[in-house]
Amino acid sequence: MGNSLGKLFTITSFGESHGNCMGVIIDGCPAGLPIVEEDIQREVERRRPGAVGTTERWEPDKVEILSGIYNGLTTGAPICLLTWNKDIDSGVYKRNRFALRPGHADYTAFIKYGGFNDFRGGGRFSGRITLAYVMAGAIAKKLLSRLGVDVFAHTVEIGGIKAQPKELAKIKENASKNPLWCADQKAAEEMSRLIEKAREEKDSLGGIIEGIALNVPVGLGEPVFENLDGELAKALLAIPAVKGVEFGAGFAVAGMKGSENNDRYTIEGGKIVTQTNNAGGILGGISNGMPIVVRVAVKPTASIAKSQPTVDIKEMKEVDLAVRGRHDVCIVPRAVPGVEAMMAVTLCDFALRAGLIPRVIK
Ligand SMILES: Cc1cc2nc3c(=O)[nH]c(=O)nc-3n(C[C@H](O)[C@H](O)[C@H](O)COP(=O)(O)O)c2cc1C
């Protein structure tokens, strides 16, 4: 239970970090959409390690299309996408099987599944799960592009270092120039240095990712229990290590006056727009046509090489644990494509529900 998301564009994720594969089944994708493996592979490449402080686990992550696509076109049947896990080293996990990693899901998963959960590499609770999200997101992005919707994300903060705000139109291109996906090159260099320092100190860092969707039509979202912001938040919180979500001005609204927070309407080229975007493109749970702007807080990686006190759940005694193995010192850069994917999957579902995407694409 709990491994599927969406009403009309439904994704079901499967696979464990050190199991055979990671995969996703997408049901509800309209027929006739041109898709080839390279379209999905391109997105998958963006979440691979490469930035300073990312895992040394090197997976080929070669995407295979198992069903639902024939002659480069979706058929309307469920689409199954997967990649095989190759670079597996479960030794450390087996040795520390019962020493609960502070900050990870070891304790909660052990209790919930009675110890039967695949603990190797974090199993279902590994960041590798976002590979499935990104594969599904590649298809969602393609569908959304037919409406002119562009979804992208970038790193705005790591370890307290903040990127300077950039012009919206330049963020996507600038962020693609460094492996941290940060549109401010100077800040990116500082962030890299800080990550390196955290690695030397056997510690980890968190940060903030901003997701943006441009040209979203007015009217997406189903109040009151399936609000667009609520469903986006749900999808984004399914990214492991995401602990907070805010839209537009977010938590800062609490300190504003109405006259400051209210986005004033105006007319631009015959269209109603707002002069500011404190609402982050969503009012009353419905998209208002302004860019959707959402920020997620990513916690520092739980698995750190620094020794920490914990509990051995089998022996029921207190022990010290220094987590060995291959871990990301900072999860943020590798979660950026995941943020884009979860936004795209959610927006795609709502676009189908609004009847904006036909069931057969001609
Ligand atoms: C791309 C990505 C990579 C991750 N890599 C690691 C890692 O190397 N070590 C680790 O302890 N956690 C890592 N995580 C986070 C854990 O999976 C997550 O903290 C854990 O499942 C507990 O869930 P929670 O933090 O959402 O409560 C990663 C997450 C993502 C999105």
Q: Which of 104, 125, 133, 181 has most ligand 1 atoms within 8 Å of CB, for mutation? A: 104
CA distances from 212 to 5, 164, 169, 339 (A): 21, 16, 11, 10
Does ligand 1 have an atom closer than 6 angstroms to the CB of 197? no
Average pLDDT over residues 13-18: 96
pLDDT class for 313, splitting at 50, 70, 90? very high
Give the SS3 label for residue 23.
strand
Does ligand 1 have an atom closer than 6 angstroms to the CB of 48? no
Question: Is residue 100 a contact partner of residue 117, using CB atoms and an 8 Å limit?
Answer: no
**What spacing in Å lies between the alpha carbon of 179 and ligand 1's midpoint?**
19
Q: Which of 301, 310, 327, 342 has most ligand 1 atoms within 8 Å of CB, for mutation? A: 301
Does ligand 1 have an atom closer than 6 angstroms to the CB of 6? no
Does ligand 1 have an atom closer than 6 angstroms to the CB of 207? no
Question: What pLDDT shows up at residue 60?
Answer: 86
Sign of the Cα pseudo-torsion (31, 142, 338, 292, in order): negative
**Ligand 1: residue whose CA is nearest its atom 29:** 127
Question: What pLDDT shows up at residue 237?
Answer: 98
Does ligand 1 have an atom closer than 6 angstroms to the CB of 241? yes
Give the SS3 label for residue 321.
strand
> What CA–CA distance (Å, rounded) separates 92 from 184?
37
**Ligand 1: residue whose CA is nearest its atom 25:** 241
Q: What is the pLDDT of residues 20-72, one digit of tens each?
A: 999 999 999 999 999 999 999 999 999 887 777 788 777 789 999 999 999 99
Q: How many residues does the chain have?
A: 362
Does ligand 1 have an atom closer than 6 angstroms to the CB of 40? no
Name which of 158, 200, 201, 178 is nearest 299 in CA terms: 158
Q: Is residue 91 pLDDT above 90, yes or no?
A: no
Question: Is residue 247 a contact partner of residue 282, using CB atoms and an 8 Å limit?
Answer: yes
Name which of 284, 278, 282, 321 is nearest 303 in CA terms: 321
**Ligand 1: residue whose CA is nearest its atom 24:** 241
Proportion of the chain above pLDDT 70, given as a percent: 100
**Ligand 1: residue whose CA is nearest its atom 5:** 127
**What spacing in Å lies between the alpha carbon of 53 and ligand 1's midpoint?**
14
Q: What is the pLDDT of residues 143-183, one digit of tens each?
A: 999 999 999 999 999 999 999 988 999 999 999 999 999 99
The overall pTM is greater than 0.85: yes
**What spacing in Å lies between the alpha carbon of 108 and ligand 1's midpoint?**
14
Question: What pLDDT shows up at residue 97?
Answer: 92
Does ligand 1 have an atom closer than 6 angstroms to the CB of 125? yes
Residue 205 DSSP one-character state: B
Question: What pLDDT shows up at residue 58?
Answer: 79
What distance, in Å, lies between the first and last C-alpha atoms of the chain?
35
> What CA–CA distance (Å, rounded) separates 310 from 331?
22
Burial 250-280 (b: 16+ CB within 10 A, else e): eeeeeeeeeeebebeeeeeeeeeebeebbbb
Question: Which tokens belong to 22?
Answer: 């990671």
